[in-house]
Structure 1
Amino acid sequence: MELRHLRYFVAVAEELSFTRAAERLHIGQPPLSMQIRDLEEEIGTRLFERSKRRVALTEAGLRFLEHAREILARSQAATDEARRAGRGELGELRVGFTSSLPYTTTLADVLHTYRRDFPQVGLLLREMFTVDQFEALLRGDIDVGFVRYRGLDVPPGIVTREIGRDALRLVVNSSHPLAVRTEVSLAELREEGFVAYPPDVGTGLPAIVGELCRGAGFEPRIVQRAREATTQIGLVASGLGVAVLPAPLECVRLPRVRYLAISDEGAYLSLAVARAERPPSPVLRTFLDVLVRIAAPPG
């Protein structure tokens, strides 16, 4: 039994006329009659009472009609769902992002647009350090990541595309002599104690800060380490040192904290989208299309 047999049967059952059903199906009446006879033989019972004047459903035909309609409807629903999945309109997308990204408009804009355009795709979001995102992408645990990759080695098998840059800011206590300034150079921080990430934390910022300080002629003196940016800001508020963090974190407003621009060339952190180097799934492809529209690359 094939789906076409069910379609032919339903058409005859609804029209109660082989002539009208054949016209509706755009086939000849003799082939239609033959297909219905084949269906009845396969089932083992008559589905229609036929006479020269009328066509009527038998009791078996009435019962079969309900199931035939249901099967055809489910078949159409399965076809539609498969097509939508192939277009990236259904499924699940796992997204990694760094902790500073929610302080920017990039993540919010992309997710808002994507959820509006593809409401049937489930989004699973995971806050992760960049190195952890790289590992998760290679394992297949996430589909796409928003990473701060500058200062880190991108492992083989990962594709990155820069979609933005955030300037670095010097975070100082409001009682610090530099707090009255709007901009400083790193050379002025030679004698300062720095609050910084641990070197193994999975972000490239420690390497970038170290490189910038060495370019300014000194090695940064680390006095406190903290794995969370907001913790570092709190330690600066306590007067334990200065910190260098991405500009989006300026929205974290604590008493006794000031954010100053850094004039040194290269004082920025790149934002990139990362994925595994393999053909993207349909849902990932649609997400990347939205990303291209919303998050334009630098320049």
Structure 2
Amino acid sequence: MISTRQLRYFVEIAESGSFSAAAERLYIAQSALSRQVKELEQQLGTPLFERTARLPRLTAAGAAFLPRARNVLQDLEKAGDLARAVGQGLRGSLRLSHSSTVPLTGLLLQRLSGYLQENPEVCMEIAQLSSEGQLEELAHGRLDIGMLRLPVLRQHEGVCIEPLFDEPLLLAVAGHHALANRKSIGLNELREQPFISLPHHQRGGLSYLSAELCMGAGFFPRPAQVVSRKTTQLQLIQAGFGVALLPQCMQDIAPAALRFIPVNDHGCVSTVAVAYRRDAGALVRQFKDHLGGGA
């Protein structure tokens, strides 16, 4: 079988014009170089050089073989560069998903944009999926990175979850709501308000956290006539169906008519987390570390 060493030696002789010059550039003995080329010719069944008293000249077979040999060596070098880049997390494709309450705005958008600018050889496929759905997809290897809100109620073997940053929860109300002009509010003032987002017994996330905070204030949130766990809750609030505790970043995608009121209670914050497989490769870990940088 033809070896890359034989190809490299053959190309070097052809480009340098002599066996001695090629041996010097390759830092090997001329006898070893000649032996490798002779073995290559034997495998091909034809001479590649005309050995003359002066300088070796390519035979017709050698001239035809030279450009292909160069291409093979160049392709091998490119393949090596690609493997190293992928192994170091500098190139590849990432499948990323985020929950509806983790919109790609503000800090996350800045870090995402900065990462892609620094890594032009990385491409990304982004979709929106619930926190539970993200963990399920990660567990089955169909997703690389998930961005969700804590708490999560169900852990999956082999899936890691790391907090990224905290942000305050605000009370979202319609512009015409009786509380719309308040500068701040306490949770205990919301016991009679209808909430458009309620927890599910098998799901965590923002609605679960909201209920926990309300229960800490002495009441369970009263359900509105219409409830939702998705971004449609913004439209439901605007229409006057009820209120919700939403993270500060939701202001970036909310209708202009909505009002967001700071909540006085200590600990009224929500945590954004990143989820990934424990056996994730360098590309995933590099991106995960970039997301967490400076948090």
| TM-score, scaled to structure 2 | 0.91
Query: How many pairs are equivalent?
Result: 293
Q: Partner of 1:102: helix, strand, or coil?
A: coil
Post-superposition Cα deviations, 1:62-93, rounded to whole Å, max 9, x if no partner, equal: 11112111111111111111111111122211
Q: Hey, what's the Cα distance between the residues in 1 that align with 2:102 and 2:188?
A: 28
Gap change, CA 1:270 and 1:5, over 3 Å in 2: same
Structure 1 segments of 4 or more deviating over 6 A? none
Aligned twin of 1:205: 206
Q: Partner of 2:150: helix, strand, or coil?
A: coil
Q: Hey, what's the Cα distance between the residues in 2 that align with 1:241 and 1:269?
A: 20
Q: Hey, what's the Cα distance between the residues in 2 that align with 1:112 and 1:255?
A: 25
Is the contact between residue 97 and residue 145 of structure 1 (CA under 8 Å) also seen in structure 2? Answer: yes
Deviation, 1:153, is: 4.2
Within the alignment, does 1:38 sit opposite 2:39 as a pair? yes
Q: Hey, what's the Cα distance between the residues in 2 that align with 1:51 and 1:130?
A: 75
Aligned twin of 1:186: 187
Gap change, CA 1:7 and 1:173, over 3 Å in 2: closer
Is the contact between residue 151 and residue 208 of structure 1 (CA under 8 Å) also seen in structure 2? Answer: no
Q: Partner of 1:179: helix, strand, or coil?
A: coil
Deviation, 1:16, is: 2.3
Is the contact between residue 198 and residue 211 of structure 2 (CA under 8 Å) also seen in structure 1? Answer: no
Deviation, 1:198, is: 6.2
Q: Hey, what's the Cα distance between the residues in 1 that align with 2:285 and 2:104?
A: 25
Aligned twin of 1:288: 288
Deviation, 1:252, is: 4.1
Q: Hey, what's the Cα distance between the residues in 2 that align with 1:103 and 1:69?
A: 46
Q: Give the alignment of 1:1-299 within 5 angstroms.
A: 1-102=2-103, 104-150=105-151, 152-197=153-198, 199=200, 202-223=203-224, 224-229=226-231, 231-254=232-255, 256-276=257-277, 278-293=278-293, 295-296=294-295
Gap change, CA 1:55 and 1:109, over 3 Å in 2: same
Alignment-mate amino acid for residue 194 of structure 1: F
Is the contact between residue 151 and residue 205 of structure 1 (CA under 8 Å) also seen in structure 2? Answer: no
Is the contact between residue 238 and residue 257 of structure 2 (CA under 8 Å) also seen in structure 1? Answer: yes
Is the contact between residue 103 and residue 248 of structure 1 (CA under 8 Å) also seen in structure 2? Answer: no
Deviation, 1:56, is: 1.0
Q: Partner of 1:178: helix, strand, or coil?
A: coil
Deviation, 1:281, is: 0.5
Gaps of 5+ in 2: none
Post-superposition Cα deviations, 1:29-83, rounded to whole Å, max 9, x if no partner, equal: 2222222222222211111111212321111111111211111111111111111
Is the contact between residue 88 and residue 282 of structure 1 (CA under 8 Å) also seen in structure 2? Answer: yes
Gap change, CA 1:167 and 1:151, over 3 Å in 2: farther
Gaps of 5+ in 1: none
Mean alpha-carbon deviation: is it higher for 72-81 or for 190-199? Answer: 190-199
Deviation, 1:113, is: 1.7
